[in-house]
Structure 1
Amino acid sequence: MSVINQMLKDLDQRQADQGGTSHFTVPVDSPSSNKKIIFISLIVIVLLNTGGIFIWQMYVENQALKVSKALKINHSEKPVLKNSKLDNSAHVVKNESTNQANNSNITTGLLKTQQNKADIAQIIPPINKLTQDNISKIEVPLATMSTATSSSNNLQAPVTLTSLPVTKSTLKISRKELSPDALAKQKLIRAEQALANKDIAKAESLFEDVLLVIPEHKSARKQLAALWFGRQAYSDALNLLSQGINLSPNDSEFRLMKARIYLKKNRIRQAFTTLNNIPNVNDVINVEYQSLRATMAQQLNEFSFSAEAYQILVSIEPSSSRWWLGLGVALDSNSEFEQASFAYKTALNKNGLSGSAENFARQRITELGE
């Protein structure tokens, strides 16, 4: 038991020694020292703010004093450049020979102005000649410059560059109105090109456009009528030619084309009437016109008209035996036997008759009593 008690005492003593070594004191600042530091910091901040405000007020008053002095000097001397060109600014610099400092400042300002002008020309690309001229003619107004002597605190004349609005170049496309003749000519050329390319539908459409612009255009009407006749649009072609005849009653080609369409439809009477009703029909010096008129008149037993047509033909081609023979037949049918016999004889004296035609002429001469 004594041994156990001794062990317990040793254990208690160790615990007491460990507990004594684990406790230590931490020094703590007193509250009075913290208050002193905060108070001193506040005082320093207040002093700095007060000093900054004082310095700012002094700076503002100094700037206001300088501005007021500059205004008084400008008001008394008024060296305003009314003309904003660079030539006048150079003239002002020359007059201020008494102030060397201002001379250098103004010269520097002018150089900057020219540099700015060059920068403007580079920034704005030359759109067209008008815009380039506007850029080259930009006038740079200079601010009011003081001409005071060196006693005026060497005030530097400010040079300001005011940007002028540069008008943008615009491309205006205007449609030129063509005259009716010019428009018709343009469409006629396109129609002929379409015919060359065998585009019949396009050519017809363009010819119609020409007639809408100029109804009196004969060439367009004839070509359109020929195209319609070619695709057997006879009614349309007849109406088109009838309109042309109404506009130009003396045009023999309109009547000749219309008569041929009537013949195609076996309407001989309408064909003959179309040809025979032209004003001054005997003045139409056209072999094709008069030969077709003579033939149809002979078929319709209109012998006097046939004789008239052949008379015109022999006057046009007096050496043609065919026309003399036709004249003889027309006169013979119209009971003008003496003149018919003379026409038969003249036909036999010309070359070009077939054997049967010669036999017919000789037979008729014999029968007429010669």
Structure 2
Amino acid sequence: MSVINTMLKDLDKRQQAHSLDTLPVPDMQYVAAAPNGFSRLLPWVLLLLLSVCGMIGATIAWQKLIVLAQDKTQLEQDLQQAQRSTTEVVAQERALIQSVEPVLTNYQNVAAEKPLSQQSEVATAEINPSLLTANASTHAKTNISSAAANGDDAGMNADIKNTELKNTLTTRDVSDGGARQSTEADPSPIAGAMAVTEVKLTPAALAQKRFALGQTAQNEGQLAQAQEYFSEAIRLDPSLHQARQHLAALYYGQGRLGDADDTLAQGRVLYPEHVDYALLQARVYEASGAIDKALAVLTTIPDEHELAVQKWTMQSHLAQQVQQFTLAEQSYRQLARVEPNQAKWWMGLAYALDSQQEFLLAKQAYRQALALNGLSASAIAFIDQRLAQLGDVE
């Protein structure tokens, strides 16, 4: 065992003596890598690619130049063709006009030699050349317009104007001669001529138009103009009640109560069943202080009419003013029957009864008014005071 231990110790010492830390470390040297074959060929590859790209670009540019040259050549050919077409059309039209001129000259000579009664027949017989000329002119204009879409507008427009002028003069000569003779010989219109038919509106339609103009003028503050329109509308159609009412309202607003009264009175005479006139006239009388006239007019409105509530309201108010308490009582009873929840009608009825010394009925009406809402504080105070005064009355 001792021998083994001794060997192990010797081995350990040897390992320590040959440690890696004591080994010498040589200096590192950097050696460039040797160039390979692809690196030497790279510049030539790039040069080849640039050459190919340049050739492709040059080829594309050359093709574009060829296409542009072809387009230019085609455009020049189209312009030349359009100019030739224009020249041919103008020449054909001039030849046609020259062929028609002898016929027109012959027509004028014959028309001058024949009697007046036969000139209309000549005009009718020879009118076809003018129609032919007009048709030829229309056909020529169509062709010229087609050619103008492709070139030389300036020269072509000048030829068109000259041709149209000749056609117009030629056709006018024939038309004037034929029209004069046909007017003297035959009053019937020439076939193909445009007829203007006058549309006449009925008086009612004209009145509606005047009424609309009057409303517009009234809204714009042109009151004098509005009055003229409304007056004309009534003259054209007296049954246009809106125009009459607007006219009376304009007079009323300007303080011209007499004119308003006359306008409404005329409506009442012509249309007594139209009770709106009576209500408006009563307001005019009230504004002028003629309460008796207003009450008299209001009695013409039936109690079954839809304006009856307005009639009773105005009637009760005016009757109290002139102390006609019986009439006021009647009006307030009608109002309380129609609108039983209105406290003001019960108070008015109570006051009318109180004024007629119907104290017991008045107390009942006062209490009914207090039981409802809608009275002012002063009205409630008046009722309380009056009920206190009538407390012992049975």
With normalisation by structure 1, the TM-score equals 0.52
Rounded to whole Å, the distance in 1 between the matches of 2:259 and 2:294 is 16
Rounded to whole Å, the distance in 1 between the matches of 2:382 and 2:131 is 105
Kindly indicate which of the two structures has a greater share of residues assigned to helix.
Answer: 2
Deviation at 1:207, TM superposition (A): 0.6
Q: Report if aligned partners of 2:302, 2:308 keep a CA contact under 8 Å in 1.
A: no
Amino acid at match of 1:355: A
Over the matched positions of the two proteins, sequence identity in percent amounts to: 31
Could you give the per-residue CA deviations for residues 77-109 of structure 1, whole angstroms, max 9, x where no partner exists?
xxxxxxxxxxxxxxxxxxxxxxxxxxxxxxxxx
Rounded to whole Å, the distance in 2 between the matches of 1:217 and 1:192 is 14
Q: Report if aligned partners of 2:295, 2:315 keep a CA contact under 8 Å in 1.
A: yes
Deviation at 1:208, TM superposition (A): 0.7
Rounded to whole Å, the distance in 2 between the matches of 1:300 and 1:316 is 25
Is 1:322 the counterpart of 2:320 in the alignment? no
The match for 1:122 is: 135
Is 1:235 the counterpart of 2:258 in the alignment? yes
Specify whether residues 242 and 118 from structure 1 end up closer, same or farther in structure 2 by C-alpha distance, changes over 3 A only. Answer: closer
Deviation at 1:173, TM superposition (A): 2.6
The match for 2:298 is: 275
Deviation at 1:341, TM superposition (A): 2.3
Q: Report if aligned partners of 2:301, 2:308 keep a CA contact under 8 Å in 1.
A: no
- 1:172-183 pair list within 5 angstroms: 172-183=195-206
**CA RMSD, 1 decimal:** 3.0
Structure 1: where are the runs of 5+ without partners?
1-115, 127-164
Q: Report if aligned partners of 2:244, 2:264 keep a CA contact under 8 Å in 1.
A: yes
Looking at CA atoms only, which structure, 1 or 2, has the larger radius of gyration? Answer: 1
Deviation at 1:235, TM superposition (A): 1.0
Alignment partner of 2:331 out of 309, 319, 323? 309
Alignment partner of 2:278 out of 255, 276, 287? 255
Amino acid at match of 1:322: K
Deviation at 1:219, TM superposition (A): 0.8
Deviation at 1:214, TM superposition (A): 1.6
Deviation at 1:118, TM superposition (A): 10
The match for 1:155 is: none
Is 1:213 the counterpart of 2:226 in the alignment? no
SS of alignment partner, residue 201 of structure 2? coil
Could you give the per-residue CA deviations for residues 334-366 of structure 1, whole angstroms, max 9, x where no partner exists?
344443222111100011222332233234444
Specify whether residues 364 and 196 from structure 1 end up closer, same or farther in structure 2 by C-alpha distance, changes over 3 A only. Answer: same
Is 1:245 the counterpart of 2:251 in the alignment? no
The match for 2:219 is: 196
Could you give the per-residue CA deviations for residues 127-152 of structure 1, whole angstroms, max 9, x where no partner exists?
xxxxxxxxxxxxxxxxxxxxxxxxxx
Amino acid at match of 1:359: A
The match for 2:370 is: 348
Amino acid at match of 1:218: H
Amino acid at match of 1:329: Y
Could you give the per-residue CA deviations for residues 184-207 of structure 1, whole angstroms, max 9, x where no partner exists?
222111111112222111111111
Deviation at 1:211, TM superposition (A): 0.7
Specify whether residues 117 and 270 from structure 1 end up closer, same or farther in structure 2 by C-alpha distance, changes over 3 A only. Answer: closer
Deviation at 1:246, TM superposition (A): 1.7
Rounded to whole Å, the distance in 2 between the matches of 1:326 and 1:122 is 90
The match for 1:361 is: 383
- 1:15-34 pair list within 5 angstroms: none
Rounded to whole Å, the distance in 2 between the matches of 1:249 and 1:205 is 25
Could you give the per-residue CA deviations for residues 316-344 of structure 1, whole angstroms, max 9, x where no partner exists?
33222111100111122234444322211
The match for 1:186 is: 209
Is 1:292 the counterpart of 2:302 in the alignment? no
Q: State how many pairs are aligned.
A: 217
Specify whether residues 248 and 316 from structure 1 end up closer, same or farther in structure 2 by C-alpha distance, changes over 3 A only. Answer: farther
Q: Report if aligned partners of 2:349, 2:365 keep a CA contact under 8 Å in 1.
A: yes
Rounded to whole Å, the distance in 1 between the matches of 2:373 and 2:363 is 18
Rounded to whole Å, the distance in 1 between the matches of 2:304 and 2:362 is 20
SS of alignment partner, residue 178 of structure 1? coil
SS of alignment partner, residue 198 of structure 2? coil
Deviation at 1:229, TM superposition (A): 1.3
Is 1:266 the counterpart of 2:279 in the alignment? no
Rounded to whole Å, the distance in 1 between the matches of 2:306 and 2:352 is 19
Rounded to whole Å, the distance in 2 between the matches of 1:121 and 1:279 is 73
Alignment partner of 1:171 out of 190, 194, 202? 194
The match for 1:222 is: 245
Deviation at 1:124, TM superposition (A): 7.0
- 1:55-204 pair list within 5 angstroms: 122-123=135-136, 167=190, 169-204=192-227
Amino acid at match of 2:205: A
